[in-house]
Amino acid sequence: MNVGNIVSLEWQSSAEGETILQYFYNPQTMGRKIFGVLERPSVPSSIEEVSYKLFITGKSGVGKSATVARLAGAATKHTNSYTETSGIRKSNLYWPVKIWDKIILFKLQFWDAGDNSIKKYSHILPACREKTDANIFVFSLMDSNSFLDLPQLMSKMTQDGDNPANIVIGTRCNVLNRLEVSSAEMKEFEQKWQVPILKIDNKWSGERNEVHETLGISGHWRGFLNAVWQIMDSPRSIDQALLQEQLEKNELSCPGTLALDSSHSYVQHIYP
């Protein structure tokens, strides 16, 4: 199903969309609000929520935490230093979308864990994978080995009979970077695995207009939303026909949204 036939891609630029987006921006900085673990946007109660659990995985240092921060709008300075994520880090990302004629608040629950923690503690990987709606596989366009690791990693994450949706993101997509993964290689991967590769540059400009353009269902966010929407076809997610019926009847009540839930400690080592 074409996301453009369902989602109002230009809604964020409308008067209604701009009004709702005010709940997601800091009026003092004109940047995105960062929500704590127990916080959520103070949107009108009439706006329904839809929630998905997403497990983000990939080689150490490819920018998994930075990708979550980028989509969340976390204004963190870029640094060349790298500190691996300790244990499990859960981040809730919130973002409003208009589907059909209904405004929906998506809540994406990102689960991120460092490789060393996964190897050291046997309970971490099962906890991240439990009832996951989608696996997000991340590689760096500047690290060919991280790309070559994807097939084995994807096979490993789907070998237990689960059927979560798969999303692939390539980080450090910048014309100034020396890329080690070619467009031809990515196209071949997409055709073989039937999974589109979304490309993102995790560097942050700090400008409100740039954030609005990127996260307002265009650029990176538009492609990400398209991929997330495919989760609707997974066994644990809402059936599309039923969702449409519920929206028309105003009966959708499952918790959810598209935005970030992060404690302030979350952003201390975002940009590897």
Note whether residue 248 is domain-resident. Answer: yes
* 22 pLDDT higher than 50: yes
Note whether residue 219 is domain-resident. Answer: yes
Is the distance from CB of 86 to CB of 236 less than 8 angstroms?
Answer: no
**For the chain, first and last CA: distance in Å?**
36
* 251 pLDDT higher than 80: no
**pLDDT grade for 269, boundaries at 50, 70 and 90:** very low
Q: Is 188 helix (H, G, I), strand (E, B) or coil?
A: helix
Is the distance from CB of 141 to CB of 179 less than 8 angstroms?
Answer: yes
Note whether residue 176 is domain-resident. Answer: no
Task: Give me the pLDDT at residue 139, please.
Answer: 92
Note whether residue 188 is domain-resident. Answer: no
Domain that holds residue 65: 3-77+87-132+207-266
Note whether residue 153 is domain-resident. Answer: no
Q: What is the mean pLDDT of residues 17-41?
A: 80
What is the domain count for the chain? Answer: 1
**pLDDT grade for 185, boundaries at 50, 70 and 90:** very high
Q: Alpha-carbon distance 234 to 129, whole Å? A: 15
* 243 pLDDT higher than 60: no
How large a percentage of the chain has pLDDT more than 90? 6
Task: Give me the pLDDT at residue 84, please.
Answer: 67
| Element housing 198 (H / E) | strand 197-199
Q: Which residues pair with 261 in a beta bridge?
A: 35
Note whether residue 155 is domain-resident. Answer: no
Q: Is 106 helix (H, G, I), strand (E, B) or coil?
A: strand
Note whether residue 258 is domain-resident. Answer: yes
**pLDDT grade for 30, boundaries at 50, 70 and 90:** low
The pLDDT tens digits of the residues spanning 119-147 come to 788 888 888 888 888 889 999 888 889 89
Give residue 169's identity as a one-letter amino acid code. Answer: I
Give residue 65's identity as a one-letter amino acid code. Answer: S
The pLDDT tens digits of the residues spanning 45-82 come to 999 888 888 998 888 887 888 888 777 766 555 556 66
Task: Give me the pLDDT at residue 189, please.
Answer: 92
Task: Give me the pLDDT at residue 100, please.
Answer: 77
Note whether residue 240 is domain-resident. Answer: yes
Q: What is the mean pLDDT of residues 238-242?
A: 47
The pLDDT tens digits of the residues spanning 186-211 come to 999 999 988 888 888 766 554 444 34
